[in-house]
Structure 1
Amino acid sequence: MRSSRSPAAADGDARQAARKKYTLAAFFLCVSLFSFTVQTELAAYVQHELGWDKAYCMLYVTHGSWVLLWPLQLGILRLQRRDQPWPQFWRRHIWLLRTTAQMVERQDLHAATATRLPGSRSPWCYLLRTTMFVTSALTVAGLSWYVAVSMTTPSNLTAIYNCSAFFAYAFSVPLLKERLRLDKSVAVGVAIIGVLVVAYGDGKGSAANVDPPASGGMPPRGSDSGMRLAGNLIIGVGSVLYGLYEVLYKRLACPPEGTSPGRAIIFANTFGSLIGAFTLTVLWIPLPILHVLGWETFELPTGQAAWLLFISVIVNMTFTGSFLVLISLTSPVFSSVAALLTIFTVAIVDWFWTGQALSAAAIFGGLLIIVAFGMLSWSTWREMTEDERKRRQVVDLSGDDEDDDESGKDDD
């Protein structure tokens, strides 16, 4: 058993570990905000200015591109360990994924040792079921946005869809056993008020204020008043499902609290790649059906549209990897409110791009979202520090070594 450390030393170690995790989360947040803003502008330009308006096909291509997350990650890891023989590197990487998947399935930090015991079952079947479940929720949520985009107003679409932050918090309480905290509740409320101010404050429902789903998309074009209620109901279902998707991913596909950040990052990108693989192999089926029914004629983009769509897909893949890592390192609530910052960033880019100045409502609503994000950031920092302190107390009492993503052993 380890010698007991003083409370001050344990508290310092906990703060240092939480600071490392928080710094990584901040980095991936910045990457996700930048990539989402670029991807949104490119997707809107391809669909509106260049005329390649294929909603489901774009969703299929963007989600399917996530399959590249794991190979790209593997290449980066290999560059970092060039001096290691490939067979040893490969065995260690597979060992890391297998043991992390075991941790995810059992929600147990010590599940890695159990994988070597006789009779231990493979986690890959669990991952397959989880991938199907989580991808279905994500796809239906994304499709609801595309279906409602021409049925309701931009302001309604923005306000209702971005209430997914509230539903993420609502689902987090029963599914993640998250405590109801006043500071978090107030922050989520302030964020949603900010969205409502942006959507309705200027009375125009400007398309620039729309925050499309993670799959990317186009600003809505308005709707016939007779279809508005149906559009609102559809996007309401999408809002609920998107909040559920984030919580399901955290509950079913993320390692338990206390996992090293490196291990969590590697597994998040791997699971994103599984979502992409499921999309490519299964979700192509609606494409010929939509083509035959005449609802969306299949047509490959050409020329400038093809190049810009390619760049948009790559940037979207970057956003997805960063966003999944952000959820894994923090929480669905924090990530949802952080995603609302893109409303402000996209509006600012549109200001420079089109020359149309931001309205007072857009500025005020954006500031409210920033304030809410600041409140959640402070709350998340406190929770990280508290959780790390509790974990280290357990480690000190048990004498077990801390998890380290670099300590994987070969299987042979």
Structure 2
Amino acid sequence: MEGSPFQSHGSFSTVKIGFVVVLFILSLASFVLQTELTSILFIKYEYDDPFFVMLLTHSCWWLLWLIQFVSVALFKTLKRYRLHKKGQDVLRGKRWKGLRRAFTSSVKTQHRNVAHTAELTAANNHPEYVNEFSDRGFRRYTDFLHSNALHHLLKSALLLCLVLNVAGATWFVAMKLSTGADVTAIYNCSAFAAYCFSIPILHDSFSWVKMSSVLTAISGVMIVAYGGQQTRDETREYPHRFAGNVIILVGAILYGLYEVLYKRKCCPPSGIVSARREATFSNFTMGLVGINSCILLCTCLFFAHLFGFYSVKLPTTTKAWWLIWTSVFSNAVFSLSFLGLMSLTSPVFSSVSSLLTILLVGFSEWWFRGIALGWYKIFGYCLVMVGFALLTYASWSEISEEDTDDQLLDTDTESSYSTLPGTESGGFGIQ
């Protein structure tokens, strides 16, 4: 009989729980916003090019890492400048050497932290991997660009890009054929696929509590999607609703695979690095997926246009453009928070937690668009919440485990190199 997960650890991390809660709320709100905006764009404004929207949505991911390291470097530089003006930099042992030096040093240190985490991730996937960087990190950016650790991440990001964009294409196509509530409900069945894939790929042990929670939540999803009678308005507005639901079911399976592959290929081993670094490293990985998506989608759409299979249809109204860019921003926030949540917990927990979006989407469509809520939908929403509560109980040890005080390099540093305890091979140490 399975023991209580609340008793599996003697201590827990409020920092990690805080990260999980914030990322969880952000993922819910941003996903609901993106779903509703996309549905309005396709239905109300009759926009008919989901692939162009997907190109903008996934290609913009690369900007997130750029925004992150520039923002952090600016914040740290201004912080050090204020200390310098107050004469406190000498007390902290960090002499002021100018704005440019402080900014570039912070940027380089952030990338050294990425290199460190990339080596841990590569070593976790390739037992024969040997650390390439000294205890002072890389000397030049070309050293990192040519490293095997980054090559592992690039190949993994390409694989994730392929799976994600096929799954994403099903979402955008289905949004044209079915209701936002149906698409959200069925797409979030990826939780079951994620659990099935996590056993052989992540070597997770089978748990009746987790299986029961996933099945309970998915039962609620199916009740929401197919319970009750369709109204005449819904039948007339969505004549191809069943086809859209079948397409999104395929996407749900692929998205479950994407989540598990991300956890396996692009996350450092659990318990080795801090929650903060896991969350920020997921942003870097997301940027790599965005670069691959931009290249892949631009190439595919270019040749499709060249051979007459596809033609880009740009929006003709300002409101439609606003809907697209707001949807793109919402997706970026969702993906950032979702990957961070998955890094800190597990693909199964992240998937089931996202099932709560169907409740929010359903209520928002009822409140803002007049789509009726029957008793069967309310019952289905209750089952989703019960399933989420069960999985939270079963996954509590993963959510609340004590945070790691890792060897994160100080981004306030002014030195050209920073010292970390090394392993026997001369690389970054796994503490």
- Residues 152 and 223 in structure 1, CA contact (< 8 A), matched pair in contact too: yes
Q: Give the TM-score normalised by structure 1.
A: 0.80
Match of 1:165 in 2: 191
> How do 1:11-26 and structure 2 match up within 5 A?
15-17=11-13, 19-26=14-21
- Residues 154 and 199 in structure 1, CA contact (< 8 A), matched pair in contact too: no
TM superposition shift of 1:311: 1.4
Does the alignment pair 1:250 with 2:245? no
> How do 1:192-231 and structure 2 match up within 5 A?
192-204=218-230, 221-223=238-240, 228=243
> How do 1:45-84 and structure 2 match up within 5 A?
45-82=40-77, 83-84=79-80
Deviations 1:359-407 (A, max 9, x none): 111111111111111111122213445x64xx98xxxxxxxxx414345
Q: Distance in 2 between matches of 1:349 and 1:294?
A: 39
Q: Distance in 1 between matches of 2:364 and 2:249?
A: 27
- Residues 74 and 103 in structure 2, CA contact (< 8 A), matched pair in contact too: no
Match of 2:283 in 1: 269
Equivalent position SS for 1:16 = coil
- Residues 54 and 172 in structure 2, CA contact (< 8 A), matched pair in contact too: no
Match of 2:133 in 1: 115
Q: Distance in 2 between matches of 1:378 and 1:112?
A: 39
Match of 2:321 in 1: 306
Match of 1:338 in 2: 353
Does the alignment pair 1:87 with 2:104? yes
Q: Is there any run of 5+ residues in structure 2 with no aligned partner, and where?
A: 1-6, 81-101, 419-431
> Quick check: 246-255 or 369-378, which moved more?
369-378
Equivalent position SS for 2:12 = helix
Q: Distance in 2 between matches of 1:304 and 1:154?
A: 20
Q: Distance in 2 between matches of 1:288 and 1:185?
A: 43
Q: Is there any run of 5+ residues in structure 1 with no aligned partner, and where?
A: 1-10, 209-219, 393-401
Equivalent position SS for 2:328 = helix
Match of 2:417 in 1: 411
Match of 1:38 in 2: 33
TM superposition shift of 1:286: 2.5
Equivalent position SS for 1:283 = helix
Write the letter of the residue equivalent to 1:183. Answer: V
Match of 1:239 in 2: 252
Q: Distance in 2 between matches of 1:340 and 1:126?
A: 32
- Residues 187 and 248 in structure 2, CA contact (< 8 A), matched pair in contact too: yes
> How do 1:388-399 and structure 2 match up within 5 A?
388=402
TM superposition shift of 1:79: 4.1
Does the alignment pair 1:380 with 2:395? yes
Does the alignment pair 1:359 with 2:370? no
- Residues 186 and 225 in structure 2, CA contact (< 8 A), matched pair in contact too: no
Match of 2:216 in 1: 190
2:160 to 95, 117, 134: 134
Q: Distance in 2 between matches of 1:94 and 1:155?
A: 41
> Quick check: 323-332 or 233-242, which moved more?
233-242
Mark the CA change 1:86 to 1:346 in structure 2 (over 3 Å): closer, same or farther.
same
Match of 1:398 in 2: none
Match of 1:4 in 2: none
Match of 2:114 in 1: 97
Q: Distance in 2 between matches of 1:206 and 1:350?
A: 17
Equivalent position SS for 1:196 = helix
- Give 1 or 2: higher helix fraction: 1
Q: Distance in 1 between matches of 2:392 and 2:74?
A: 33
- Residues 155 and 200 in structure 1, CA contact (< 8 A), matched pair in contact too: no
CA RMSD of aligned residues (A): 3.3
Deviations 1:9-66 (A, max 9, x none): xx9996332x321221111010011111111111111222122221111111100111
Q: Distance in 2 between matches of 1:51 and 1:358?
A: 25
Mark the CA change 1:152 to 1:352 in structure 2 (over 3 Å): closer, same or farther.
closer
Equivalent position SS for 1:222 = coil
Q: How many residues are aligned here?
A: 373
- Residues 9 and 397 in structure 2, CA contact (< 8 A), matched pair in contact too: no
Mark the CA change 1:346 to 1:333 in structure 2 (over 3 Å): closer, same or farther.
same
TM superposition shift of 1:333: 0.3
- Residues 42 and 176 in structure 2, CA contact (< 8 A), matched pair in contact too: no
Mark the CA change 1:384 to 1:371 in structure 2 (over 3 Å): closer, same or farther.
same
Q: Distance in 2 between matches of 1:279 and 1:134?
A: 9
Q: Distance in 2 between matches of 1:34 and 1:154?
A: 15
Write the letter of the residue equivalent to 1:131. Answer: A
- Residues 42 and 175 in structure 2, CA contact (< 8 A), matched pair in contact too: no
- Residues 186 and 221 in structure 2, CA contact (< 8 A), matched pair in contact too: no
- Residues 38 and 312 in structure 1, CA contact (< 8 A), matched pair in contact too: yes
Deviations 1:303-342 (A, max 9, x none): 2111221111111111110111011111100111111111
TM superposition shift of 1:273: 1.0
2:344 to 307, 329, 333: 329
TM superposition shift of 1:148: 5.4
Percent of pairs identical after alignment?
35
Mark the CA change 1:153 to 1:52 in structure 2 (over 3 Å): closer, same or farther.
closer
